[in-house]
Amino acid sequence: MFTRFANWLDERIGWRPVWEAIFLRKMPKVNWFYTLGSATLFVALNQAITGILLTIYYVPTPDHAYDSVQYITTQVTGGWLIRGMHHWGASLMVVLVVLHMLRVIIHGAYKYPREVTWLTGVVLLLLVIGFGFTGYLLPWDQKSYWATTVGTRIAGVAPFIGNWILRIMRGGEELSAVTLARFFGTHVWVLPAALMLLVGTHLYLVIRNGISEIPRKEAGKQ
């Protein structure tokens, strides 16, 4: 019955070639370092799920942000675990992305025909850093407040456009309710939309161009 339904569905939407291209494609002989990209994607899914759960109770206003985080941690069933998974997942995601890109550099996987794959990966790294920066302010405690103050001030020293960037990020001269709202909106709407678009593009390019093989010494060379 399942086979008949699968064939019926394939005749109408053509899912089988897509399935074969993604899951049944031939893979070169690789090692565990080639799983860093998949591990990063898994952590990204963890961040998405735990982030959605956190937004159920989080209140993005200066008067209630800190209290809502404390409520999640101490009062919500399993809240401490969800927040911990999201917190440590953010750090782990940065580490995995950096290690993944180092592997690509060491193995020369950024070369033809994978240049665009590499460029999308660089942009994804920037997005991951953006997630970390915007999410750090959301607990609205002393540490996150002053860390964001310093971070935005660093961006403000850029030549010519520094002051403009500073005002865009803060929504004014100092950190305020507008800053928190902008960081929250960027963290849960703008960056996730960009991430999904780029991850889809990145995966398509990986499937299209394949995974690079481990570099090996040519015969006769030392």
In a domain, 10, yes or no: no
113: CATH: 1.20.810.10
125 pLDDT above the threshold of 80: yes
In a domain, 221, yes or no: no
Alpha-carbon distance values, 220 to 106, 107, 214, 217 (Å): 22, 20, 18, 8
CA separation for the pair 145, 138 (Å, rounded): 9
Q: Cβ distance 117 to 202 under 8 Å?
A: yes
pTM check: above 0.85: yes
In a domain, 214, yes or no: no
CA separation for the pair 17, 166 (Å, rounded): 49
In a domain, 216, yes or no: no
> How many structural domains compose the chain?
1
Q: Which amino acid is at 130?
A: G
The confidence score (pLDDT) of residue 199 equals: 97
**Residue pLDDT, tens place only, 153-187:** 999 999 999 999 999 999 999 999 999 999 999 99
Range of the domain at 164: 29-209
**Residue pLDDT, tens place only, 99-116:** 999 999 999 999 999 999
CA separation for the pair 168, 163 (Å, rounded): 9
In a domain, 16, yes or no: no
85: Cβ contacts below 8 Å, ≥ 6 apart: 46, 50
Query: What is the pLDDT confidence band of residue 24, given thresholds at 50, 70 and 90?
Result: confident
Q: Over the chain, what is the mean pLDDT?
A: 93
Q: What are phi and psi of 64, to 5 degrees?
A: -125, -10
In a domain, 6, yes or no: no
In a domain, 19, yes or no: no
In a domain, 84, yes or no: yes
The confidence score (pLDDT) of residue 221 equals: 54
Percent of the chain at pLDDT > 70 equals: 97
